[in-house]
A and B are shown apart, each in its own frame.
Chain A
Amino acid sequence: MKLVTGVIQPHRLDDVKSALEAAGVRGMTVSEASGYGRQRGHTEVYRGAEYTVDLVPKVRIEALVDDADAPAVTDALVKAAQTGKIGDGKVWITPVDDVIRVRTGERGPGAL
């Protein structure tokens, strides 16, 4: 099993969610995150006082998938999140030792 994690532009969330559902993902976790990559931050001015804001709002989306589904899900995520502009984010895949469904105690791929 794999954990596919994407940190993406917040405004791409709806499209990414639909794309993951179309690719067969049955559940996901979405959280508000903040950070920066090559995009770096932006400038804000309050009553003339300027601030550089390094950490910009992002959305972190996580989905647990079967090994066989991982490449298709990853492709769907990247495609849906992409605008071609700097700041689109990152996607990474990590191996997962085990998954447990809390309600039933089921383990492994059956718990996905």
Chain B
Amino acid sequence: MTFTLIAGDAFKLDTGNTAWMMTSAVIVLMMTVPALAFFYGGMVRSKSVLNMLMMNFIAAGTVGFIWILYGYSESFGSATTGINQFFANPFQYFGLINLTDDKGLGAAVGVPALVGVAFQSTFAVITVALITGAIADRIKFSSWIAFSIIWATAVYFPLAHMVWGGGFLSPSGPVASWLSAPIDFAGGTVVHIDAGAAGLALVLLLGKRKGWPGGPFRPHNLPYVMLGAALLWVGWFGFNAGSEGAADGTAARAWINTFVATAVAMLTWLLTEKVRDGRATSLGAASGVVAGLVAITPAAAAVDSFGAIAIGGIAGVVCALAIGLKFKYGFDDALDVVGVHLVGGITGTVLIGFFATHHQGAWYPTGAKDGLLYGGGITQLLAQIVVAAFAVVFSFVLTYVIGYIIKQVGGLRLSEEAEVGGIDLAVHGETAYESIGATRLNTEVKA
């Protein structure tokens, strides 16, 4: 669906669709806080869990703030030609001015434009938050705050505009007229490839954590990881089925595909582990769930159940193997944002070229074609490869430039003492689990 607002569009409120979209917006916010925060928080060491939770909360804070100020406008403003193929005017709806309560979405599904603003805000937040997994345990807190604002402004909002806002990679852009309309139903390129490539760029700038890969980097709380993954799974129904913009059969198809692809991805990840390592682990189950969710995201409503099963099954194996890349090539992607989100996002986006179908009423945008295995030829596959490659290069290059500038200006990396001694204490002056031995020093709080 497209969230481009057509100002003054005749708009008749559909309360069912509106209620579903507002519900989806709530559960997608739940995917960042608490789900992703705890999924990542459980995987880091106990001395840096609060810092991980804080980086996720900060993403909700900074991106939530600038989304309302100018992010929505930059992503979904109405201009789509010339330079505006790449980003819209941030001032058209600055502070949501001119977006009155009675204005609707251009998709004419009877949903107020403000509901679209709310729903898409949660996507911007989680995309930034996803990056924290790659850079865990070593980035300066102030640099993360600055990065989250600059990156959302220069990378996320433009890519959202290009794919969903009628821009360069959208079904009405040049790739569509050159090949066929690219399909990204809920964010394979905009969210997962985007965050994954950004994570890789930052990891290369930051360097390895002290002691990696030989040191003790075991997850400190696997129940947190399982809980976070489970909440992600639940919230993702809002992410994918909500991306229909309406409560209808296509939303139900997206829901079902999201469910079955994830179920199968968990099983194939565990099978891969069992064969390779001899055990099926809880961390593997949690990781398989996320890999499946990532891969089905762009395809959610564009494939039938067999396509969803295939995409989930392939993603479970591919991502389980891809997490070994960091050891092979020596980049410290701490919590596997590259292995799961970049590789999973590419897998899902490209596999659409094989499995996209309009049979049985599956959705795809005007101008898209059936996939290679459904008799549509190779055109859709090529379009999917082009958008995936564009998103990788766009995010990686811009992120590297942003990270490089922050590194020169204020530094990216924490001091070694803070990193080794514990970020929670060094940066936040708190500890997560120490409960005895504290004596109150003041009896009044500073004015």
Contacts and interface: CB of A to CB of B under 8 A. Distances in A.
Contacts of B320: 48
A46 B286 CA distance: 12
B138 to A, nearest CB: 18
Nearest to A48: B324
A92 interface: no
Contacts of B279: 45
Interface string A21-52: 00000000000000000000000111111110
Interface residues of B, number: 19
B281 A49 contact: no
Contacts of A46: 218-219, 281, 283
Contact of A45 (B216, B217, B277): B277
B287 A49 contact: no
Interface of B: 213, 216-219, 273, 276-279, 281, 283-284, 287, 320, 323-324, 327, 336
Interface in A40-96: 44-51
A94 B216 CA distance: 36
A49 B332 CA distance: 13
Contacts of A51: 216, 218
Nearest to A44: B218
Contact of A47 (B216, B278, B336): B336
Interface of B is mostly: loop
A49 B217 contact: yes
B252 to A, nearest CB: 34
Which of B278, B283, B287 has the most C-beta atoms of chain A within 10 angstroms of its own C-beta?
B283
B284 A47 contact: yes
Interface residues of A, number: 8
Contacts of A47: 283-284, 287, 323, 336
A49 B214 CA distance: 10
A21 B217 CA distance: 42
Nearest to A45: B277
A99 B267 CA distance: 59
A18 to B, nearest CB: 30
20 contacts: A45-B273, A45-B277, A45-B278, A45-B279, A45-B281, A46-B218, A46-B219, A46-B281, A46-B283, A47-B284, A47-B287, A47-B336, A48-B273, A48-B277, A48-B323, A48-B324, A49-B213, A49-B217, A49-B327, A51-B216
Nearest to A47: B323
Listed from nearest, the 7 A-B pairs whose CB atoms lie closest are A45-B277, A47-B323, A46-B283, A48-B324, A51-B218, A46-B218, A47-B283
Contacts of A44: 218
A49 B217 CA distance: 9
A23 to B, nearest CB: 33
A44 B283 CA distance: 12
B286 to A, nearest CB: 10
B335 to A, nearest CB: 9
Nearest to A51: B218
